[in-house]
Structure 1
Amino acid sequence: MNKYTYYILFFLVIFTFSCKRQKINLPTSTTKIKNLSVQEIDFKYFSSRSKVTYTDSENNLNAIANIRIKKDSLIWISVSKIGVEGVRALITQDSILVVNRLKNEFTAYDFKSLSEKFNFNITFDIIQAAIVGNLPLAQESDNAKLVKEKDHFLLRQSENSITIDNFISANTMKLTKLLMIEQPTNNSLTVDYGDFKPLNTFLFPYSSIVSLQYQATKGNDQTSVNIQHQKVEITDEELKFPFDIPQKYDRK
């Protein structure tokens, strides 16, 4: 897999999975969740233009990402540098297609194979939720636990081998931090949401700092992405999702 395709795949994974952490021990007073009104963004169509800084042990990449979403149906991502589009991706409920215009090639994945590649359960719903700053799982999910801290609620959920800690502001009832850890591998991820501003009738996080720590061939590795949304819109008006694979492109 060339580095440009890896960037877009990691961009998808980084929205769904973050930094290695010490295990959080919930107080013994933790109770089953009930009557927690987390403020989430609802929409028909979503679009954003964002500045993205990607850093790992070998690379440092600055780019512009344009994102469009048709709720529960399509996610479209275009990544450009110096005004030139390098990669475009189209995500449906079933598959992920990535076109690399710099290498004249494309890659196709289903969610099962992509999840196996990164050893993490990736779904359309999780990617969509993470982009707009909503809870990755429904707050009434099985085995959800809730505790009230000084200035926030901590909602702990589990999905197969993944533990998810959602930090929710007691003042705004918005998700401000997300911690996820995969138990067998200890791969882990942190998403810090910030710079909340009004978006229509909602509060939207215009910045996200994401850190992923995972097991690599040469030992543990860490990758981070800083996302600064420059323009965000939610609308009922239909958006376009232009996507095609030229016949001359090779499949990788």
Structure 2
Amino acid sequence: MKHYSIFLFTLSFLIASCKRQQVSQTPIISSVDTLKVATIPTQKDSVVAAPVAPTVTPNTPAEEEKVSIDEIDFKYLKAKAKVSYKSPNDSQSFVVDIRMRKDSLIWLNISAFGITGATALFDKDVVKFYDKLHGEYNEYTYANFAEKFNFNLSYDILQALVVGNRPFKKNKSRVTRSNEYFLLKQTDNKVLIDNYIGENKKLKKILLTQEDTSNKLTLDFDDFTTLNQFLFPQSSLITLDYVSKVDQKMYQTVVNIKHTKVELLDTPLEFPFRIPEKLLNKN
């Protein structure tokens, strides 16, 4: 259980490494069998391969009409997922309970062998993390993570990770065609966003690239199942490729999420997050 916070780090680029500064000196490229992932070279200036052939053609008005995305609409979400991750230093598996109020809150309860190890609460501005096993509590802003990891993270990206909706809806898009995918290209605060949309109008992949560091976050969605008349991705694959500030080498961490139960609800949910007073006084 001592490494569950590494999962949360990968999930949001952040938490565990804010407490631990250790970095492996041997680059390890993880492989995941459940979904096809492009091989990542270990050179600092390497680029992640696209999931399909790179040939693209300019969009036409007809293609722009086809590129509309069927997104999941909900008020509250309740889910349970099996999560596994592989990092340069370790690999672990957990059970994660997820609750969400759309565009507002994400609550995670991380456990193993039936024992709760940590709880996290994400809102639009702050991330709260309670390490129950080790008696530690911390709060972070998204700016903290951008400064530490040279990557701009947001609540909208985290929400997209869970439900498979497009995180940057208001940004202007340039549409191209890449074999069986429509590719929507966007930019947001020095982040390049590639949205790959399948013929079923579902978002299949998001590739986020930080321009000034070449660090990359890839979200792959698969195993779509009908849920409340929406196609919901039961599997998500998160791949983080980053250059270490310690040795300037490229490393990779992979998180695989398999939802075992998902409910889209109109009834309000509770988001329990109780911190011992003695820990609150330290912050």
Give the TM-score, by structure 1 length: 0.89
CA shift for structure 1 position 202:
0.1
Cα distance in 2 for partners of 1:159, 1:3 equals: 32
**225, 232, 244: which one pairs with 2:274?**
244
Structure 2 alignment gaps of length 5 or more: 15-37, 41-46
Cα distance in 1 for partners of 2:208, 2:55 equals: 15
Q: Does the residue aligned with 2:165 lie in a helix, a strand or coil?
A: coil
* Alpha-carbon contact 2:4-2:110 (below 8 Å) kept: no
Number of paired residues? 245
Corresponding position of 1:168: 197
CA shift for structure 1 position 194:
0.6
CA shift for structure 1 position 162:
1.1
* Alpha-carbon contact 2:105-2:121 (below 8 Å) kept: yes
Corresponding position of 1:110: 141
**166, 180, 183: which one pairs with 1:154?**
183
- Residues 34-53 of structure 1 mapped to structure 2, 5 A cutoff: 34-35=64-65, 36-53=67-84
- Residues 7-156 of structure 1 mapped to structure 2, 5 A cutoff: 7-13=7-13, 20-22=47-49, 27=56, 29-30=58-59, 34-35=64-65, 36-138=67-169, 141-142=171-172, 144-156=173-185
* Alpha-carbon contact 1:26-1:147 (below 8 Å) kept: no
Give the TM-score, by structure 2 length: 0.80
* Alpha-carbon contact 1:129-1:136 (below 8 Å) kept: yes
Cα distance in 2 for partners of 1:179, 1:126 equals: 11
- The residue type equivalent to 2:209 in the other structure is I
Change (3 A) 1:113 1:63: same
CA shift for structure 1 position 125:
1.9
CA shift for structure 1 position 46:
0.6
Cα distance in 2 for partners of 1:211, 1:10 equals: 8
Structure 1 alignment gaps of length 5 or more: none
Between 1:82-91 and 1:242-251, the stretch displaced more is: 242-251
CA shift for structure 1 position 116:
1.7
CA shift for structure 1 position 141:
1.6
The answer to whether residue 221 in structure 2 is matched with residue 190 in structure 1 is no
Cα distance in 1 for partners of 2:237, 2:187 equals: 22
- The residue type equivalent to 1:181 in the other structure is T
CA shift for structure 1 position 25:
6.0
The answer to whether residue 236 in structure 2 is matched with residue 208 in structure 1 is yes
Cα distance in 1 for partners of 2:54, 2:186 equals: 13
* Alpha-carbon contact 2:77-2:101 (below 8 Å) kept: yes
- The residue type equivalent to 1:194 in the other structure is D
Q: Does the residue aligned with 1:241 lie in a helix, a strand or coil?
A: coil
